Amino acid sequence: MPRITHHYDLVVVGRSLAGLAAAALVARRGKRVLVLPGGPAEGCVPVGPMEVPLDVAPAVWIDSPPVRTVLRELGLMPQIGRSVRRTRGVFQWVDGTARTTWTDDAPPPFGPAAPQAADDPATPAPWDALAEAAAAERTDPFAGRRAAERLARLARSQTATGDEATDSYVAAAAPFVTDVAPDHLPPAVRSGVAAGLLPAPLDLDGRLARLRRDLLKMLDLHGGEVRPDLRVEAFSLRRGRIDGVALSGRADRLGTEHLAVADEDLAREGIAELPIVAGDRVLPWARRFTLRIDVAPTGVGPGPGDFLVLRAPLFGAPGRTGGAIVRIERPAGAPVRVEVGVLVAPGTPRGTLREAILDWLDAEAVLPFVHDHVVACASAHDGRPPTGGDGRPLDDLAAATLGRPAPMDPVLEPAAALAGGVALVPTRTAIRNLHLCCALSYPALGLAGAFATALRVAGTIAPPARSPLARRPLLRRP
């Protein structure tokens, strides 16, 4: 048997935000932590000279209670809190041939005003109460029937988001800010998505890439390690516990007290002969594909806004409908930067997705005749170098060094109803020291669910230190 050369309190396998947050919390609490993301852990990936984002969605859950709790413990709340604001600019909702435009200082012209928090500041909005309950031990939906029913009541506590146009807008954008197909979202979550997007998206300066970067900094500050160059080959089991992690191309193995799986595909597929989650319990409904397009200023007219939500096809699945988000930045004296996020059917070949997206943007008149004005376009998901509008590699970048393609994050399709309206799989597994720390636990809550999951996993491994100022019980055991 290969010998153990290093021993950790926690090894995180995967790159999910839940995994990074849990790793940072456990390291902050004095434990030795290693993260094996299996690729880039940051939110932007270099493709040749271009920095391509892995996520174009706004961080609409950034101000939710679980996120605030984690950031407060890590000491990130002051600087991140100052960077949370409503996006400014021109916004559009494109539904076929109908295009609706509004600005940040005026509500959208369709439907009633987006639902807002309660008038009493001490009373949280229904979606905030739902996110807070998801992280609380007494409302763990897998702890018992009463807890699940309590959470389900919160999930149903909000009325519909508005008229048909509002509901369509939310359905098109929801797969980018949650991790489950929109048909599975309860009313409170739909209302939370609407409140986060309308009249202008709530976002963080630097978006989710900034949040990832800050979590990695905190992990490093507290002695944690991140090794994107290492690949997990197998786990070793002993007496019902994982006691080692075998790495590809290495004769030794890593010892660990706890292992957290922070990758949805790994949790479903398992490693070697170790299944983690039954594959038929949840299937990917779609995957998120991100494309960056640099366009000559003459190729983008005044028509497109700065932030667009579109009803779009589910690429690779003719006849099925998905959604898309488009961000447009117009820096002075530089090409216009267009970032596009679309939904792709599972198993769709990635090799021609760039051309398909450009054709669709042209056909929808979002970027008419865009092929003739493309300076460069690139994606972190397809393994291709930067290309022009005709799909051919650019002459000066054809030999650019490329890393492994980044995986596309899944949007999940549960086989049964979500527990408590928001939860799918518990963080604890049949193996005592193996934890799930990914979107499989609270897929309906997006970023809030990721941080609620991180709090649960970190609390199991290294409970937070009790404050010396906390009230102590009068009766204690000697």
User: Could you report the per-residue pLDDT of 303-353, keeping only the tens digit for each?
Assistant: 788 999 999 999 999 999 999 999 999 998 899 999 999 999 999 999 899
Give percent above pLDDT 90 in the chain: 55
Instruction: Quote the mean pLDDT of the chain.
Output: 87
pLDDT exceeds cutoff 80 at 468: no
Q: What is the pTM of this model?
A: 0.92
Of 22-36, 348-362, 404-418, 464-478, the poorest mean pLDDT is in 464-478
Residue 274 pLDDT grade (very low, low, confident, very high; cuts 50, 70, 90): low
* pLDDT for residue 470: 47
Of the candidates 95, 41, 59, the residue with the CA atom closest to the CA atom of residue 207: 59
pLDDT exceeds cutoff 90 at 106: no
- In three-state secondary structure terms, 378 is strand
Looking at the chain, the number of H-run helices and the number of E-run strands are 11, 19
Give percent above pLDDT 70 in the chain: 90
Which residue did the predictor score with more confidence, 477 or 147? 147
Paired with 85 in beta bridges are 203
- Mean pLDDT of the 370-380 span: 93
> Domain spans of the chain?
283-397
pLDDT exceeds cutoff 70 at 18: yes
CA angle in degrees (0–180, nearest 5) for 15-327-53: 25
Of the candidates 406, 289, 431, 445, the residue with the CA atom closest to the CA atom of residue 14: 406
- Mean pLDDT of the 73-93 span: 94
30 dihedral zone (left: phi>0; alpha: psi -120 to 50; beta): left
